[in-house]
Amino acid sequence: MRDLFEDIFRDAPLDPTQAARRAMRPHLRRRFYQQADVEEADGEFRIVLDGRPVKTPARRTLATPKRALAQALAAEWNAQRDVIDPAKMPLTRLANTIIDGVVEAPSAVAAEVERYLACDLVFYRAPGPAGLVTRQAKAWDPVLAWVRETLGADFVLAHGIAFVAQPAQSLAAAGCAIPTDPWRLGAVHVVTTLTGSALLAIALARGGLSVDAAWAAAHVDEDWNMELWGRDQLALEHRAARFGEMQAAATVLEAA
């Protein structure tokens, strides 16, 4: 039974479209439990399947500091039907990553987020066409205004893709807004890598943006190109899978 609890997520493909392309979607474990629940123990809330604690890939207990977050995890396990499909469990995958990785090395994870600040998505504006320039400004200027007013950080815009150095004091001020709590830090890291913007992630974490607004802001260029050249079904499936990761991170930020 131990292997059933520990190996479900080991080496699981994270993106369902990538897994399909590589023909790696067979061999899913059948659901072997009746009910997922939450139990409080030692000041944390752990996920149990028929009373037995779930383990992460590194054999740590799958547990959270807040009951609401644990309940969301249990709901994800209960939503599985005949098989347990890790690709459809983004919140559990994120929890595993936080417990097995972020808790052990928060400073390294925070440093990765901080590196995005120097070349954040919202700094780099297209020189044209005018419609795209307008859309970028509409989506990104309010984010920079929020950052300026809330964090005291004022950044320099670039037109094109050439790197532009940002003021050290602004980078430091924004860097101080990166969460130190491992759960919130792990969620901010996910949002940063999904969107290409640490500022969007920080604004989401601080309540300055909704998850839908942050996601839309991150895809201004992609949406513009799709309107011009058409939509690709595989690309849309990949984007939907990534949005699932984004929603999982938002759940952590809301509940943790």
| Residue extents of the structural domains in the chain | 2-89, 106-255
* Closest alpha carbon to 86 in 188, 189, 14, 172: 14
Contact 120, 199 (CB under 8 A): yes
pTM to 2 decimal places: 0.90
Architecture of domain 106-255 in CATH? Orthogonal Bundle (1.10)
Beta strand 52-53 pairing with 63-64: unpaired
Residue 138, beta-bridge partner list:
none
Residue 7 predicted with pLDDT over 60: no
Q: What is the pLDDT of residues 14-73, one digit of tens each?
A: 444 454 444 445 589 999 999 999 999 999 999 999 999 999 999 999 999 999 999 999
Report how far apart the first and last C-alpha atoms of the chain are (Å, whole number): 30
- From the centroid of its chain, how far is CA 27? 26
Inter-CA distances, 47 with 5, 194, 238, Å: 11, 27, 29
* Same fold yes or no, 2-89 and 106-255: no
Q: What is the pLDDT of residue 27?
A: 81
Residue for token pair 């792990």: 186
Q: What is the pLDDT of residues 131-183, one digit of tens each?
A: 999 999 999 999 999 999 999 999 999 999 999 999 999 999 999 999 999 99
Architecture of domain 2-89 in CATH? 2-Layer Sandwich (3.30)
Q: What is the pLDDT of residue 214?
A: 98
Q: What is the pLDDT of residues 172-228, one digit of tens each?
A: 999 999 999 999 999 999 999 999 999 999 999 999 999 999 999 999 999 999 999
Residue 146 CA to residue 174 CA, distance in Å, equals 11
Strands (E), the chain: 29-30, 36-41, 44-49, 52-53, 63-64, 83-84, 124-125, 158-159
* Closest alpha carbon to 81 in 10, 30, 116, 9: 30
